[in-house]
Structure formats: structure tokens, C-alpha cells
Amino acid sequence: MSGLTHLDAQGRAHMVDVSEKAPTTREATAEAVIEMAPATLALLREGAPKGDVLAVARIAAIQATKETSRLIPLCHPLPLSKVSVSLEAEEAGPTGAQVRVQVTARCTGPTGVEMEALTGASVGALTLYDMLKAVDRGMRFTTQLLSKSGGRSGEWRRGPG
């Protein structure tokens, strides 16, 4: 693992200079999994009182990818060329249920889109929490990068487990 690129030689935070990097097509996919009670998932499928929860979460995830550089201090603003969001509700065993929020972001530029995908997936899950919290405050979620491509470091995919 290389050094931390967002710190200078004196340990001060700075935005990495990407002006000399060649633009390449870059893509990243991240996933947030929000766990909830089975009754919450049933309510989500039937139609929650606040409306189409999944549609709102999809729009929130897309908007969040576009706002990443405003939310994460050292991220570069990127001209995204694609954002796709997949939301899958599923039973997760006898005591739980979950919704998978997968976000893929793509651009042609000098730096990657991992943070955009991660931010979109996280905000999608946060939106689900916000809209369902009246019936289930015990929900929780995890977010992880699934894959990235492009740039000097090339392809990366999360392995099993």
C-alpha cells in the first residue's frame, strides 16, 4: 500500500494535483446493504405511507453521486457520464430482511469515481432509513466498494467474503 495521497510532506491535508494525469474512462460500483425487520420489508413492498420509498432512494443516490465533491472535502468535481442505481429487496433469513443499493458511476477523467459510487450507495441507504424509521429505528447498513476500473491502477474487484 502506498502513502496517503491527501497529505503533504508536513502532514497537512491537500487536494491531489491530477492536472498531469491522462483522462481515461473510469467506472466504479459500490453497494450499501440496509438490514431491517421483515415487517419493514413487507411495508416497503406494500407501499409505505410516505410514498414510493424505492423511487425516492434511487433519485437520492443519483443526486448524491453528483454532489460528492461538495460533501467530501478533498474530492475533485467530476463530469459524470453515467450513474445507475439498482435496488433489490430480499429476505435475509428467518429473522431479517434487507435492501441492496448498488450504484455504478462512470466518467472520463483524470481521477476515479469510487467516492461517487460509495456516496451514492450510502445516501440511497440513508434515504431508505429516513423514510422507514417511523416503523423501524433498528435498521443498519454497511457500504463497500465492489469494483473499479480505469486509471493507472487498472481493474480491482472485491473478492468473495
* Unique residue bearing C-alpha cell 487498472: 154
In the set 8, 17, 52, 130, the catalytic residue is 130
Cell of 14: 491537500
Cell of 73: 472535502
CB 29 within 8 A of CB 150: no
Rounded CA separation 117/125 (Å):
12
Rounded CA separation 123/136 (Å):
18
User: In the annotation, is 130 catalytic?
Assistant: yes
Q: At what angle do helices 53-66 and 114-132 cross, to 10 degrees?
A: 150
129-160 CB burial, b ≥16 within 10 A, e <16: bebbeeebeebebebebbbbbbbeeeeeeeee
Catalytic machinery residues: 130
